Amino acid sequence: MGKYVCCTGLLKNTWDQVCIAFWQRYPNPYSNHVLTEDIIFRDVTPSNCLISRRLLTKTSRAPRWMEPYLPKHMTNSAYIIEDSVVDPQKRTMTTLTWNISHARLMSVEERCLYQMNPENGSWTEIKREAWISSSLYGLSRAIQEFGLARFKNSVTKTMKGFEYVLSRMQGETPSRTLAETATERARETALAAKEKAKDLASHAQKKQYV
């Protein structure tokens, strides 16, 4: 049996804003692993739903113990198919993603439902489900645990990426930028203090031998 995980996230933005941000997610500071995105198919149904299929190329560094089971050219990249259906009448967006590279080693299928939060119509709720499985004999359990841990980490980055893009859309300074600025200033201050300490120490040593 594979692993199943279900979680719910909340974005304090309207459903329309989140849908627009969905198509503008890349690039953002939390998605450096996404290399390319290509639209394979897109159409509007008679019921006015937008259906799309995209191919995503991502860096996907495999752990060392897994590398012997992968072709060399596939140890650092992964290809993902993403299907989506946007229903403007029901105000829902449903996405289904799955990997098409090294799927025998580990298969990850994710289904997301974006809809208005029932308690606050100005917010958007994201219900996320994932199925993780492996058919590699003897290592399937370890691989599934690895996939589960990576998926949970990916969810956190995805939500932060959404928040970054939404803030940028609204003309705000994304929190990531503020954090990076503060970190950079802290590094500069620490570096200056370190150089000053070296200088003081150097002078102190000279005085000892004068």
How many Å apart are CA 47 and CA 91, to the nearest integer? Answer: 13
> First CA to last CA across the chain, in angstroms?
76
Number of H helices, E strands in the chain: 3, 7
How many Å apart are CA 154 and CA 134, to the nearest integer? Answer: 19
pTM of the predicted model as reported, rounded to 2 decimal places: 0.77
- As given in the structure block, the two tokens for residue 169 are 């859309």
Q: 109 - beta bridge partners? A: 98, 131
pLDDT (tens digit per residue) in 40-95: 999 999 999 999 999 999 886 666 666 676 666 555 778 999 999 999 999 999 99
* 25 pLDDT more than 70: yes
Is-contact 8 127, C-beta < 8 A? yes
